Copies of this chain bind each other. A is one copy, B any other.
Amino acid sequence: MGLLLLLPFFGVVCLVAGQSGPPGTTPNIQYVFEGRCWDYDETRYNGLLPRVQADCDTLWKLFFQSFSYHAPCAVNQTSYSPFLQAARQTLPQDKVMFWSGVYSLAHRFSENGVNYITLEDTLIGYLANSLVWCGQENPPGMNYSRCPDWSDCPSEASESFWAGASRTFASAAKGNVTLMVDGSNPNKPAYRRNSFFSKYELPSLDVSLVPALHVIVVHTLDKPKIETCGSGTLLDLKNDVTARGILFTCDDDPASVMHLLCADQPDSRECKLAAAHVNCELPYNSTQPGFNGQPDFLG
């Protein structure tokens, strides 16, 4: 799930700083981490996800101890266990969503926990999302000038983190869960057995609590549908899910997701709405709530 999470942020940092190659640890990472922790604690996802007992200073210390003063390629997943244990939350029934290859769309669809809960909505994911970090053996224990790419070494500090975070997240899921994948990327199959979902999340689901996995296959507007629910690697996914004793269901381009894509590209041919509305020919007689009925409507 988090495999390519940092790449675009790398891009932004490089652009801003005019550097080339991967950046080092995010400047002021402790303040950013603890700041996010306070913000989350008091204002974010209130009523959607539980608060955690550990205070923000403790969480930072546990996180920092996991990788600091170690070479960046010598941090395994268990290093993060004390932090992950202290920051884990219970998750609401039927709302967990995994994603692969569709970070932006999945998060617009999940609506900050209103529709679904992603890893990045949980405290663990929220604290680390978009940050860069790695250790070094000398003080200050973190390397601010360069961190390796995930592909550089098997036990890279942040990859190990996201692997452990993904396991922790999946193991707390209950009820029917959802996975969103990309069915129109010519360079990357919708489902890969080396993906975070396949390696860490699917195996961590508690099958006694998770009866079904619903897959949403999304296709780029105006591009070929390379893989769909009944084809290609979706068949592998179905096999792997049912082999775990979990019911597999699948939808190609459900209308709610299509509309999100169409919001960005309303002129696409796929996005034409019924003419009756455009021409004001529909009668109105329902008891549909107005904008004031939306839970986060503010004024």
Contacts and interface: CB of A to CB of B under 8 A. Distances in A.
Interface in A242-299: 254-260, 262-274, 276-277, 280, 282, 284, 286, 288-292, 294-299
Interface string A230-242: 0000000000000
Nearest to A41: B28
Given A42-B28, A46-B16, A273 B255 contact: yes
A27 interface: yes
Given A35-B37, A295-B8, A298-B7, A276 B269 contact: yes
Interface string A76-108: 000000000000000000000000111111001
Nearest to A44: B130
A131 to B, nearest CB: 7
Which of A187, A257, A298 has the most chain B CB within a 10 Å cutoff? A298
A165 B55 CA distance: 32
B43 A39 contact: no
Nearest to A295: B8
A5 B288 contact: no
Contact of A8 (B103, B256, B296): B296
A224 interface: yes
Contact of A273 (B8, B182, B270): B270
Contacts of A290: 182, 184-186, 220, 223
Contacts of A47: 12, 15-16
How many copies, total? 2
A128 to B, nearest CB: 11
B15 A104 contact: no
Nearest to A282: B269
Given A32-B39, A291-B220, A299 B256 contact: no
Given A46-B13, A220-B291, A286-B222, A299 B7 contact: yes
Given A259-B266, A273-B258, A182 B291 contact: yes
A71 interface: no
B32 A34 contact: no
Contacts of A182: 290-291
Contact of A38 (B28, B46, B185, B277): B28
A298 B224 contact: no
B291 A270 contact: no
Interface of A: 2-5, 7-9, 12-13, 15-16, 26-29, 31-32, 34-39, 41-43, 46-47, 56, 100-105, 108-109, 111, 130-131, 182, 184-187, 218, 220-225, 254-260, 262-274, 276-277, 280, 282, 284, 286, 288-292, 294-299
16 contacts: A3-B299, A8-B297, A31-B34, A32-B38, A32-B39, A102-B291, A103-B299, A104-B291, A108-B111, A218-B291, A220-B290, A220-B291, A255-B262, A256-B263, A256-B264, A269-B276
